[in-house]
Structures are given as structure tokens and as C-alpha cells.
Amino acid sequence: MRIGSSSSSSSGCSRFWSSALRSKRLVSPAEKAARDSSDLGLSRRLGVLDLVLLGIGASIGAGIFVVTGTVARDAGPGVTISFILAGASCVINALCYAELASRFPAVVGGAYLYAYTAFNELTAFLVFGQLMLDYHIGAASIARSLANYLINILELFPVFKDNIPKWIGHGENIGDVLSINVLAPILLVLLTFILCRGVQESSVVNSLMTVTKVVIVIIVIFAGAFEVDVSNWSPFAPNGLKAIFTGATVVFFAYVGFDAVANSAEESKRPQRDLPIGIIGSLLICIALYIGVCLVITGMVPYKFLGEDAPLAEAFSSKGLKFVSILISIGAVAGLTTTLLVGLYVQSRLYLGLGRDGLLPSIFAKVHSKRHTPIHSQIWVGLVASVLAGLLNVHVLSHILSVGTLTGYSVVSACVVVLRWKDKTNSQVSSAAEREGVICLITVAVCGFATGLLYRYDASYIFLILAIVLAAGASAALVLRQNTLMVVCVKYTKRKGNLKVYADAPGFSCPGVPLLPNICIFFNMFLFAQLHHEAWVRFVVLSVVMVGVYAIYGQYHANPSADENIYHQAPEEEAL
């Protein structure tokens, strides 16, 4: 009995690891035609302008009218530098996303797809789990904020003032967890209906709302520019450089959303060209808008007197420009609407990808034959968000968010490096060398987290420098591998062609590989260390749960080698 039980256990573990470590095969378009002509695919209707607006819609919500002022209370006018630093970090992340979006222009999946191809099935499933919890809680939280803003606008009219029950839009709390909100689920149902109608219809709504909020932000910047007193910008960094760097770690999340463009790969007209433009273009526009708002708000009012809840609106009210405050409320509604719309859109495409791969039930893989939208996945994500928004006080969970975002960004950066190795399939990069490279990437991540902890708890600068030096050493090891592997390859394969391990990828190519991706990983893990302790617990607990789900369901149903599921590498002839 013991021998049989031991043998069965060993067989089960062996099956688990053989399933967990399998990955997607990277093939060229010549090996298999894309599914574009099939009714099973999504409809390619998004142009480059649609993609740029999609990225802006996901990134800029009501936060541009709030977070700029709240951070300025600590960093002073130096908050502008905080946004520049955070924006520069996001640009590097965006370059990594742009390369991978260009490599896989045929299908949806985003960070999940990239991890599946570069690493393995279990890693991809864990990335999906972390991202999806962020998306579900984030969508519910945004829906409640949107409902709250709409009620606030209605209460500007005397007939509604103090006559709208809290349970309709503001939320009626029942204890610490339950909170009834009727309007939030209704808004989610409306947006889900629009998304189910088709990508063209949802793109039109997103474009109109995004243009509206961008125009309002520009009006706010120009209106405020005439009220700026340059003396308010002195001193520029009243609380020193540390306040500016701390501010950068906070405002980093104001840029989150550009990665949504990568999930529209299967609905882009010319994905290999347009996706990188959409990702990077939307981010650069967001950076410019944030910097403009920062300069205006810190120039209008001394940073010490900025309000906490609505700093920008209060700044304009103090100057007698109350009409701008109304515009800000309208802009906030437009911003929240587009952020919510794009968030629901991205969630459904991720579920579609896992349904196709068998890691989730096949119902999530179904695409409507006429609408060309994943209706079942879309209804599911709308239903989950509606339940959360209608019944729970999700705002108390806000401090465990951003885990999925930082995890996804770090994995995507690592995927760029690993896929450069996988391009060299003809034994140019040995499996042992790949393992060494992965160890170097993990070392960079651990050093980034350690540096973040040391910075957070004001440790000695000696330890900070030590952690940074270790990360630099691991990065240097990755760079030096390039020359070593070229020599080994020439010696044993007698090939004298272009054997660079980090040669440019087909399509859009991220510059500075592997150094720039390593910088991304380091900074993302640095930010991970700044999150609330409960966010770390959430990361560990959810990872354990996802491993359990994979062991019970995923490993038995996934089929990464199925012909219809093979992902397509970007053709070199279409390179940018």
C-alpha cells in the first residue's frame, strides 16, 4: 500500500511539474496562417488613433484632478519632478510592452500571453490571477466613485440637494464590509452592454469621453496659467529630494493603463505598426497633461494651502473661477467612465485568452459570430464587478491593489530578455545559459525589493548601495553573457553570422536590452516594497490559491500545443 501510494504521489507531482513548466511554442507566420479570416476571431477595427485614445482613456481618470494636489502637499512644486521621474520609468516599461505587442500582433493576452511564451504555463496563470484581482476590485471601486461623482453633480441642483438617499449613489454602509450602492451596478450593466455590442461601438464611446476629458484638462491648464504666481514655485523642493522620490513612487500608479493597448492586439487593423505607437503615444500625452496640471496647481496656490479631497477644484474656487470647478467634475466623470470601460474591456480579453488555452472553461473562449466580441467573458466580468460594487465597501481594499500591475510590468520586462534568447533556437543559447540568465533576472528583482525595504525603513545608505551594486552586477552578468555565448556558438557550431544574443527583435525593438528591462524590474520591485504590508500577504495568499486551482483544473485542461492556440511571431518584413 505504501509503495503504491508513494508511486501515485510521485506520478502526480511529476505530471504537475511537466504541465506547469510547458510553454507556448513561438512560430513564424509562414508555419501557420493567423485566424483573421475565421469567425472565431475578433474584428480588426481599431486604428492608431483609437489605440492612443484607448491608452489615454485607461490612464487618466479622476486622479489627475486629485493626486497632483495631494502629492504636492508633501513634495511642493517639486511634484512636477515626481511626475517626470515616474513618467520616465513608465516609458521604459512601455518600451518593453511595445516590443512584445509588436512580436505577437495576432492575438489577445497581454502579460499573460508573454509569460506563457517566455516562461511557462504556471507563471502565466499566476500573472493572470494577480492582474485579474486588481482589475475586478479596481472596476468595482471606480464604478462606486463614478456613481458618487454623478450624485454630486445632481446635487448641484436645489431640487436634488440632500434629497438623494445614500444607498443610491454614495453608498449606505452596513458594518465595515457591506455597503449598498444601487447606481454603481447600473452603470456597470450599461457599459457591459456597450462592450457586448462590439468593439467599434465601445471605441466610439471611449473616444468621445476621452476627447472630452482631455479638452477639459487643457482648458483647466490654460485657465490656471493666467492665475499662476511664480513666487509660489520657490522653494521648489521644500522637503528635499526624498519627498520628490517618495512622490514619484506614489504618482507612478497615475500612469497605469497604457498596457491596456497591448490587449487589443487582435482588434487592431495594423497591430505590428500601431500597437507600439498606441502604447508609447498615449503615455507621452498623459505625461504632458500631468506636468501641465502640476505646474498650474502649484503656481496658483502655495503648496501648503492645497486641499486634500479636491485640491484643484478648491484652487480655482479660491480664485473666483467656480465654472472651472464644474468642468473638473464633468472631466472626472468622463475620466472615470473611460477608465472603467477600458478596464472591463481588458478583463474580457484576458478571460478570452485563458479560455482558448484551456486554463479556464471553454465558455470564456466563445466569440459572437456577428458582434465578434467575447460576450460570455464580457458578461462575466461585468457581473463580478456589479456584485462587488453593489454590495461591498471595496474602497477599504484599495491598499491591496497595484500588486498585479507591478507583477505584470516586471514579468513583461523579463519576457523581453528571455524571448531574445528564445529567438536563438538553433542551439545558440543553451538551456544552462538560459537558467543562469533567469537567476540573474531574479537577483535583480530581489535586490530591487530589498532596496525598497531599506529605503522605506530609513536603513543605512551602505546597505542601499550594496543592494544596488548587487543588482548592477547581475545586470552586467547578463550583458557579458552576450560575448561569451557568441564565442561558444562560433566554436561549436562554426556559424559566423549575426549571433548576438540580444539582437534586435522583428517589428518594434526595445533599445538597451537587457539593461533597460532590468531597470524596469528593479524599480517595479522597489515600488512593490512601498506597498502596504497586506498587499504582500495578498500576493502570497493569492499565489497559493492560484497554484491550487491550476493543480485541480488547469493542468488537466490546458493544451498549449493545440494548432488553433499557437501564437504568432511578428514577421520581419513588416518591421518598423
Torsion sign (Cα): 153, 175, 382, 558: positive
**Chain centroid offset of residue 288 CA:** 19
3-state secondary structure of 27: strand
Please name every residue paired with 567 in a beta bridge, in sequence order, or none if there are none: 26
pLDDT, average across residues 44-62: 86
Place of cell 504582500: 536
C-alpha span between 124 and 110 (Å, rounded): 10
Whether the link from the prior residue into 514 is cis, omega within 30° of 0, is yes
Closest CA to 257 of 51, 498, 8: 51
Least confident residue range of 42-56, 77-91, 273-287, 405-419: 42-56
pLDDT of 382: 96
Does 368 or 187 have the greater pLDDT score?
A: 187
The amino acid sitting at 51 is L
Least confident residue range of 158-167, 303-312, 350-359, 398-407: 303-312
Q: Is the pLDDT of residue 36 over 60?
A: no
Give the tens place of pLDDT for each residue, 290-326.
999 999 999 998 988 887 667 888 888 888 888 888 8
Residues whose CB is less than 8 angstroms from the CB of residue 113 and which lie 6 or more positions away in sequence, other chains included? 24, 104, 107, 124, 353, 567
Question: What's the N-to-C CA distance of the chain in angstroms?
Answer: 63
Does 289 or 160 have the greater pLDDT score?
A: 289
Asked if 518 contacts 475 with a C-beta cutoff of 8 angstroms, the reply is yes
Closest CA to 145 of 192, 173, 184: 184
pLDDT of 41: 61
Place of cell 508555419: 31
Whether the link from the prior residue into 235 is cis, omega within 30° of 0, is yes
Residue 427: count of CB within 10 angstroms of its CB = 11
**Chain centroid offset of residue 117 CA:** 19
DSSP secondary structure string, 47-90?
A: -HHHHHHHHHHHH-SGGGGTHHHHHHHHHGGGHHHHHHHHHHHH
pLDDT, average across residues 14-43: 65
Global pTM reads: 0.86
pLDDT of 434: 78
Q: Is the pLDDT of residue 236 over 60?
A: yes
Asked if 68 contacts 79 with a C-beta cutoff of 8 angstroms, the reply is yes
Closest CA to 247 of 89, 478, 411: 89
Q: Is the pLDDT of residue 563 over 70?
A: no
Place of cell 515626481: 82
The amino acid sitting at 305 is F
pLDDT of 453: 94
Burial class (CB in 10 A: 0-12, 13-18, 19+), 176: exposed
The mean pLDDT of the chain is 83
Residue 174: count of CB within 10 angstroms of its CB = 12
Cell of 533: 504590508
- Helix 515-528 / helix 431-456 crossing angle, nearest 10 deg: 40
Please name every residue paired with 172 in a beta bridge, in sequence order, or none if there are none: 180
Strand 172-174 and strand 178-180: the pairing is antiparallel
**Chain centroid offset of residue 327 CA:** 28
Cell of 17: 511539474
3-state secondary structure of 313: helix
Place of cell 464611446: 205
Give the tens place of pLDDT for each residue, 449-500.
999 999 989 888 899 999 999 999 999 998 886 555 544 554 444 444 445 6
Residue 275: count of CB within 10 angstroms of its CB = 29
Q: Is the pLDDT of residue 568 over 60?
A: no
Torsion sign (Cα): 156, 161, 167, 173: positive
pLDDT, average across residues 538-560: 91
pLDDT of 347: 92
Q: Is the pLDDT of residue 524 over 90?
A: yes
Share of the chain above pLDDT 70, in %: 85
Asked if 367 contacts 41 with a C-beta cutoff of 8 angstroms, the reply is yes
C-alpha span between 279 and 153 (Å, rounded): 33
pLDDT of 263: 79
What's the pLDDT band for 344 if we cut at 50, 70, 90? very high
